[in-house]
């Protein structure tokens, strides 16, 4: 009798599971590579951030498809009048994922988790500070150690961050992946088990999906978090099918083996556009590809020479040949998807005759120079070598003899950052959608008047610096916009670099998918996505 | 036999030392720095760079780094990946079954088709069949793996819908934990209904792509070896005795003709592993090849060094096994110096 009852129960559960399985909705994303691990604080690549994002939340987050921030784990954020104190009112009743790696949380998310997550990156004495290599690149790169005075809690649901100086981009920084909030309780649980490194391999968060498993180089599985504070996701299973080859990713899309893919091959774009089962979603990327003139080396120290060189280069031809339609000509150092973009800026027209005359007027004749090109393909410059060759030919027409130079990628950057070049191709992809992340990082100088490391043109301008510095201390976006537009006008007049292009980001999405938004930040977010049966 | 074995084993020691030295030095001589590679476009302060170098032991003199590396390997420690922070040996064993399964299938594919094709071509020497087979073998031999893979995906998967595009198994339908890592076995024993067939379907294209080159080599080798043997006196004698052509070929000629073919197959292990690097990338096959390519891109020294060493150990061990097998089959080999 017992056996029969047991059998019946098993049959019932089996039937229910089978029914559940039959109705379960799955979304497969063909991703481009394997994550380094699942802790954004120690990651550096977009691939790794994408892999951890379904599991985690941040205090504030980017509204999908935009660079604006909105509340997430912090329901409400107060900024003091002097801009030095930020108070985060944490959302109540938020649950950490249960059942992952044998961990069952005994409490809801609270201020301790926030302190723990930042503490790991900030405090060398933190029990997890040295786990998994202990390098917190983004935290350091975003200047957090110099910015944060103190992080403390007032009570379980209130966290206060005190800054050393006012910093407007701080909220955008806190929406970045490195500021992900993790479970202090899970960390303790693993520490007691003696396996702290599992913390970075088997993630537990509060996000819309909980981690199921990762088979290296093959697949990452997540399942919907039924208790998600924002409501259960629309799909039950989220699968990342790791497919590094772009052609293979597209082939999988065509075969219906995945519904969304990242980073299509530029050569495949026209074919994908014609595919009637796929929507080719596109957006200007949050990036800039530029040709930097070393403003500390004559004759590039003269703005009129830089302007002449800029006029000598035919960017329309470059757009056609190098970007093959997947890019738009840049007239400002920041991309048009970013707030404070100077729409009124006048683009530098291609005019070799005027360029030649201007060079003669500046006393530059038969100039021998170098022109550096990056040995790697980047989103903002798919083929730097070809670009350099075209620029070389254009410059030759106005009497400038450019020698093409390249180095191994790491070496290239190191030397360019040290200012060894005369002209160098490089670019940037934004991290947080804040103009400060372009203008201050790429063209900024220190208090000593020396250019920052990422300032490849090695160009410093006091008025520009004052505008950018002041904008970073204000919280009013309209006021900041005015200053950033002003700063862009200075750059446009001084031409420390030639704005070449902003690449277009394409994402093939199956027509069955609804609710997916391409992020200008290059991240992939699947929370709101649904798949038609 | 024992002396032969000891001699062969002794030969492997300098091979290992040389290999360790070459892998270690080559990686350090090629430009590129694991820290710089991780940084994207960002600059890094000199202090931070020094700190990271120190953490990774990269600030030590090269000879010290090399000695530490040899010492660790002698203790079975192949290091920790700079990128994932997982032990290299653990990563290797997680991924190796996928490469092993694919390589075995490709080897079987090349033997099962290559030997009969070679025999047939030799028997029909000079005929249309012989020429057609040998032309095909030459084509297969010169076919770039990358292109061949994409052509097959286009026709078999996207046009005819006969095979899946990539991966080892349908990720949605057949989800079950790995046991041995060899999915043919796992799916047969633990997988849900239909999983085994699905795994086989996923194996078809990568097996063909990886097996094409060895298939061509085996077919050509079998043909030439067979032609030689068919000229031997004992074959003529067998024919003269009135044995059927099938018996002459299968019983008398083939056995002897296969000796150099076995050696060739042994040598193909290296080819298979080299081919696996490309094949795995095309078909998103989560094996050692794909892992090594990723490690090169990220300048993950420990993963790359450890991975290459472990593969070398496999190849050397396999070749040793082949030598011993040949030594058993053919006593003449044992006395060769």
Q: Quick one: how many helices (H) and strands (E) in chain A? A: 17, 20
What three-state secondary structure class fits B208? Answer: helix
The answer for A 158-197 residues in CB contact with B (under 8 A) is 197
Give whichever of A212-221, B27-36, B304-313 has the largest mean pLDDT. A212-221
Min Cα–Cα distance to chain A from B42, Å: 6
Considering only residues B251 and A397, tell me which one the structure prediction assigns the higher pLDDT: A397
pLDDT of A303 above 70: yes
- Which residue(s) pair with A150 in the sheet? A162
Residue found under tokens 């003139």: A293
Q: What is the dihedral of CA A441, A445, A446, A451, to 10 degrees?
A: 100
User: Residue A368: phi, psi to the nearest 5?
Assistant: -100, 125
With bands split at pLDDT 50, 70 and 90, how would you rate the model's confidence at B328?
Answer: confident
CA distance A183 to A199: 10
Q: How far is CA B322 from CA A298, B105, B330, in A?
A: 67, 18, 12
pLDDT, tens digit, 9 for 90 and up, residues B148-163: 998 999 899 888 889 9
Min Cα–Cα distance to chain B from A87, Å: 30
Q: B185 in contact with A at a CB cutoff of 8 Å?
A: no
The answer for B 95-124 residues in CB contact with A (under 8 A) is 95, 98
Mean pLDDT on B11-17: 83
List of E strands, A295-395 = 327-329, 367-372
Cα A64 from chain centre: 13
Q: Which pLDDT belongs to residue A18?
A: 42
CA distance A29 to A141: 30
The answer for B 35-74 residues in CB contact with A (under 8 A) is 35-45, 48, 52, 55
Letter string b/e over residues A101-140, b meaning 16 or more CB atoms within 10 A of that residue's CB: bebebeebbbbbbbbbbbbbbbeeebebeebbbbbbbbbb
Helices within chain B (DSSP H only): 2-29, 34-38, 46-56, 62-74, 88-123, 128-142, 145-152, 183-189, 195-230, 233-240, 245-247, 254-282, 288-297, 301-329, 331-335
Inter-chain CB proximity A242 and B286 less than 8 Å: yes
A357 burial (CB, 10 Å; 0-12 / 13-18 / 19+) is middle
Mean pLDDT on A56-67: 92
Q: Which pLDDT belongs to residue A311?
A: 97
Provide, as residue numbers in chain A, all residues whose Cβ is less than 8 Å from the Cβ of B86: 197, 201
What three-state secondary structure class fits A342? Answer: coil
Q: Which of A217, A261, A426, A431 to mutate to test the interface with B (most CBs of B within 10 A)?
A: A217
Provide, as residue numbers in chain B, all residues whose Cβ is less than 8 Å from the Cβ of A215: 94, 178, 286
C-alpha angle A430-A432-A434 in degrees, rounded to nearest 5? 90
Provide, as residue numbers in chain B, all residues whose Cβ is less than 8 Å from the Cβ of A130: none
pLDDT of A201 above 80: yes
Mean pLDDT on A357-373: 94
What three-state secondary structure class fits A384? Answer: helix
Instruction: Assess contact for A390 and A424: CB atoms under 8 A.
Output: no
With bands split at pLDDT 50, 70 and 90, how would you rate the model's confidence at B50?
Answer: confident
Inter-chain CB proximity B38 and A243 less than 8 Å: no
pLDDT, tens digit, 9 for 90 and up, residues B273-295: 878 888 998 888 989 988 888 88
Instruction: Assess contact for A480 and A471: CB atoms under 8 A.
Output: yes
Which of A54-68, A333-347, B235-249 is the least confident region? B235-249
Q: Which pLDDT belongs to residue B200?
A: 95
Provide, as residue numbers in chain B, all residues whose Cβ is less than 8 Å from the Cβ of A132: 85
pLDDT of A7 above 80: no
- Whether the complex's predicted ipTM surpasses the cut of 0.85: no
Helices within B231-287 (DSSP H only): 233-240, 245-247, 254-282
Mean pLDDT on A365-378: 90
Min Cα–Cα distance to chain B from A445, Å: 14
Q: Which pLDDT belongs to residue A4?
A: 42
Which of A13-22, A265-274, A329-338, B247-256 is the least confident region? A13-22
Which of A89-98, A307-316, A354-363, A518-527 is the least confident region? A518-527
Provide, as residue numbers in chain A, all residues whose Cβ is less than 8 Å from the Cβ of B279: none
Inter-chain CB proximity A247 and B150 less than 8 Å: yes
Provide, as residue numbers in chain A, all residues whose Cβ is less than 8 Å from the Cβ of B307: none
Inter-chain CB proximity B31 and A410 less than 8 Å: yes
Tokens of B33: 């720095």
Inter-chain CB proximity A244 and B55 less than 8 Å: no
Q: Which pLDDT belongs to residue A12?
A: 42
pLDDT of B313 above 90: no
pLDDT of A14 above 60: no
Give whichever of A91-95, B21-25, B84-88, B173-177 has the largest mean pLDDT. A91-95
With bands split at pLDDT 50, 70 and 90, how would you rate the model's confidence at B233?
Answer: confident
Q: A28 in contact with B at a CB cutoff of 8 Å?
A: yes
CB pairs under 8 A between A and B: 139
* Residue B115: count of CB within 10 angstroms of its CB: 22
Predicted TM-score (pTM) of the model is 0.83
pLDDT, tens digit, 9 for 90 and up, residues A229-252: 999 999 999 999 998 888 889 988
The answer for A 424-453 residues in CB contact with B (under 8 A) is 426-429, 452-453
Mean pLDDT, chain A, integer: 90
A368 burial (CB, 10 Å; 0-12 / 13-18 / 19+) is exposed
User: Residue B270: phi, psi to the nearest 5?
Assistant: -60, -45
Q: B284 in contact with A at a CB cutoff of 8 Å?
A: yes
Q: How far is CA A230 from CA A57, A71, A73, A94, in A?
A: 11, 11, 10, 10
Inter-chain CB proximity A244 and B45 less than 8 Å: no
Provide, as residue numbers in chain B, all residues whose Cβ is less than 8 Å from the Cβ of A378: 41
Inter-chain CB proximity B36 and A409 less than 8 Å: yes
Q: A479 in contact with B at a CB cutoff of 8 Å?
A: no
Provide, as residue numbers in chain B, all residues whose Cβ is less than 8 Å from the Cβ of A14: none
Mean pLDDT on A215-230: 93
pLDDT of B47 above 80: no
Q: Which of A17, A23, A29, A215 to mutate to test the interface with B (most CBs of B within 10 A)?
A: A215
Min Cα–Cα distance to chain A from B128, Å: 37
Tokens of B170: 């349908």
- Which residue(s) pair with A368 in the sheet? A401
Instruction: Assess contact for A245 and A253: CB atoms under 8 A.
Output: no
A244, A255, A413: residue with CB nearest B284: A244
Min Cα–Cα distance to chain B from A113, Å: 24
Min Cα–Cα distance to chain B from A198, Å: 10
Smallest CA-to-CA distance from A423 within A321, A533, A305, A525 is with: A305
- Could you tell me what percent of chain A has a pLDDT over 70? 96
Q: A296 in contact with B at a CB cutoff of 8 Å?
A: no
Min Cα–Cα distance to chain B from A107, Å: 30
B43, B86, B164: residue with CB nearest A453: B43
Instruction: Assess contact for B284 and A244: CB atoms under 8 A.
Output: yes
Residue found under tokens 């559940």: A20
Q: A408 in contact with B at a CB cutoff of 8 Å?
A: yes
Q: Which pLDDT belongs to residue A283?
A: 84
Provide, as residue numbers in chain A, all residues whose Cβ is less than 8 Å from the Cβ of B95: 216-217
Q: Which pLDDT belongs to residue B304?
A: 87
Tokens of B217: 């080599």
The string of DSSP codes covering A352-377 is HHHHHHHHHHTT--SEEEEEE--SS-
Q: A251 in contact with B at a CB cutoff of 8 Å?
A: yes
Considering only residues A176 and A324, tell me which one the structure prediction assigns the higher pLDDT: A176
Q: Which residue of A has its CA nearest to B160?
A: A255
Inter-chain CB proximity B55 and A245 less than 8 Å: no
Q: Which pLDDT belongs to residue B55?
A: 76
With bands split at pLDDT 50, 70 and 90, how would you rate the model's confidence at B111?
Answer: very high
CA distance A408 to A71: 42
With bands split at pLDDT 50, 70 and 90, how would you rate the model's confidence at B18?
Answer: confident
CA distance A452 to A499: 19
pLDDT of A184 above 60: yes
pLDDT, tens digit, 9 for 90 and up, residues A309-319: 999 999 999 99
Q: What is the dihedral of CA A8, A10, A16, A22, to 10 degrees?
A: -120
The answer for B 134-153 residues in CB contact with A (under 8 A) is 150, 153
Inter-chain CB proximity A417 and B94 less than 8 Å: no
Q: Which pLDDT belongs to residue B230?
A: 86
Provide, as residue numbers in chain B, all residues whose Cβ is less than 8 Å from the Cβ of A137: 38-39, 42
User: Residue A60: phi, psi to the nearest 5?
Assistant: -125, 160
Q: Which pLDDT belongs to residue B44?
A: 64
Which of A125-139, A214-228, A480-494 is the least confident region? A125-139
Provide, as residue numbers in chain A, all residues whose Cβ is less than 8 Å from the Cβ of B85: 37, 132-133, 197, 200
* Residue B289: count of CB within 10 angstroms of its CB: 27
Instruction: Assess contact for A57 and A70: CB atoms under 8 A.
Output: no
Cα B164 from chain centre: 23
Smallest CA-to-CA distance from B317 within B254, B266, B252, B256 is with: B266
pLDDT of A143 above 90: no
């Amino acid at each position: 009798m017992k056996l029969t009852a047991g059998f019946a129960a098993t049959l019932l559960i089996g039937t229910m599971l089978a029914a559940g399985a039959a109705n379960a909705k799955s979304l497969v994303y063909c991703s481009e590579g394997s994550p380094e691990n699942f802790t954004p604080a120690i990651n550096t690549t977009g691939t790794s951030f994408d892999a951890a994002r379904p599991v985690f939340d941040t205090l504030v987050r980017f509204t999908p498809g935009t660079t604006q921030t909105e509340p997430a784990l912090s329901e409400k954020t107060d900024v003091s009048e002097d801009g030095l104190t930020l108070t985060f009112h944490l959302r109540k009743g938020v649950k950490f994922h249960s059942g992952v790696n044998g961990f069952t949380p005994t409490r809801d998310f609270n201020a301790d988790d926030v302190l723990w997550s930042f503490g790991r990156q900030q405090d060398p004495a933190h029990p997890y500070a040295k786990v998994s290599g202990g390098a917190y690149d983004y935290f350091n790169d975003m200047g957090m150690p110099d910015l944060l005075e103190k992080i403390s809690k007032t009570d379980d649901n209130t966290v206060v961050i005190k800054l050393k100086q006012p910093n407007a981009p701080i909220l955008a920084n806190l929406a970045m992946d490195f500021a992900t909030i993790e479970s202090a309780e899970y960390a303790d649980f693993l520490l007691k088990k003696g396996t702290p490194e599992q913390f970075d391999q088997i993630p537990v968060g509060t996000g819309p999906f909980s981690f199921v498993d990762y088979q290296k180089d093959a697949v990452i599985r997540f399942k919907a978090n039924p208790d998600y504070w924002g409501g259960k996701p629309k799909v039950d299973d989220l699968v990342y099918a790791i497919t590094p080859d772009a052609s293979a990713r597209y082939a999988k899309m065509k075969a219906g083996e995945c519904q969304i893919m990242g980073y299509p091959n530029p050569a495949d774009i026209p074919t994908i556009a014609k595919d009637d089962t796929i929507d080719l979603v596109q957006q200007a990327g949050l990036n800039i590809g530029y040709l930097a003139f070393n403003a500390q080396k004559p004759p590039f120290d003269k703005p009129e020479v830089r302007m002449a060189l800029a006029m000598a280069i035919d960017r329309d031809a470059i757009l056609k040949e190098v970007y093959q339609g997947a890019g738009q000509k840049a007239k400002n150092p920041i991309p048009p998807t970013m707030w404070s973009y100077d729409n009124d800026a006048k683009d530098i027209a291609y005019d070799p005759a005027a360029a030649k005359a201007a060079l003669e007027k500046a006393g530059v004749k038969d100039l021998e120079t170098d022109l550096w090109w990056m040995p790697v393909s980047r989103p903002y410059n798919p083929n730097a070598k070809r670009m350099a060759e075209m620029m070389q030919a254009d410059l030759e027409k106005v009497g400038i003899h450019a020698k093409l130079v390249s180095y191994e990628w790491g070496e290239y950057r190191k030397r360019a950052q040290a200012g060894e070049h005369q002209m160098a191709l490089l670019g940037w992809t934004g991290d947080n959608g804040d103009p400060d992340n372009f203008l201050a990082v790429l063209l900024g100088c220190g208090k000593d008047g020396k250019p920052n490391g990422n300032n490849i043109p090695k160009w410093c301008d006091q008025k520009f610096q004052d505008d950018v510095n002041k904008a970073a201390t204000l919280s009013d976006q309209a006021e900041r916009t005015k200053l950033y537009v002003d700063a862009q006008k200075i750059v446009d007049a001084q031409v420390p670099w030639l704005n070449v292009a902003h690449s277009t980001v394409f994402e093939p999405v199956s027509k069955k998918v609804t609710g997916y938004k391409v992020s200008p930040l290059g991240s992939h977010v699947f929370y709101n996505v649904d798949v038609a049966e | 036999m024992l002396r032969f074995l000891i001699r062969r084993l002794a030969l492997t020691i300098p091979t290992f030392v040389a290999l360790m030295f070459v892998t270690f030095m080559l990686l350090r001589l090629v430009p590129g720095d694991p820290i710089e590679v991780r940084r994207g476009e960002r600059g890094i302060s000199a202090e931070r760079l020094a700190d990271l170098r120190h953490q990774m032991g990269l600030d030590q003199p090269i000879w010290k780094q090399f000695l530490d590396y040899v010492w660790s390997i002698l203790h079975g420690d192949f290091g920790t990946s700079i990128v994932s922070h997982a032990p290299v040996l653990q990563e290797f064993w997680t991924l190796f079954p996928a490469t092993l399964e694919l390589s075995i299938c490709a080897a079987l594919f090349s033997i099962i088709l290559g030997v009969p094709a070679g025999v047939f071509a030799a028997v029909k020497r000079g005929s249309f069949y012989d020429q057609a087979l040998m032309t095909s073998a030459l084509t297969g031999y010169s076919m770039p793996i990358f292109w061949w893979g994409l052509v097959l995906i286009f026709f078999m998967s996207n046009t005819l819908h006969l095979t899946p595009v990539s991966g080892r198994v349908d990720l949605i339908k057949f989800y079950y934990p790995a046991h041995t890592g060899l999915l043919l076995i796992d799916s047969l024993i633990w997988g849900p209904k239909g999983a085994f067939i699905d795994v086989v379907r996923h194996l078809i294209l990568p097996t063909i792509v990886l097996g094409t080159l060895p298939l061509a080599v085996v077919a050509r080798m079998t043909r030439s070896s067979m032609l030689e043997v068919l000229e031997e006196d004992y074959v003529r004698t067998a024919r003269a005795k009135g044995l059927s052509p099938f018996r002459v070929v299968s019983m008398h000629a083939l056995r002897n003709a296969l000796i150099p073919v076995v050696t060739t197959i042994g040598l193909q292990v290296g080819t298979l592993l080299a081919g696996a690097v490309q094949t795995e990338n095309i078909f998103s096959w989560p094996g050692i090849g794909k892992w090594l390519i990723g490690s090169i891109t990220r300048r993950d020294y420990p993963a790359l060094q450890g991975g290459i060493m472990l593969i070398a150990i496999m190849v050397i061990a396999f070749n040793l096994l082949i030598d011993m097998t040949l030594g058993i089959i053919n006593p003449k080999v044992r006395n060769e110096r």
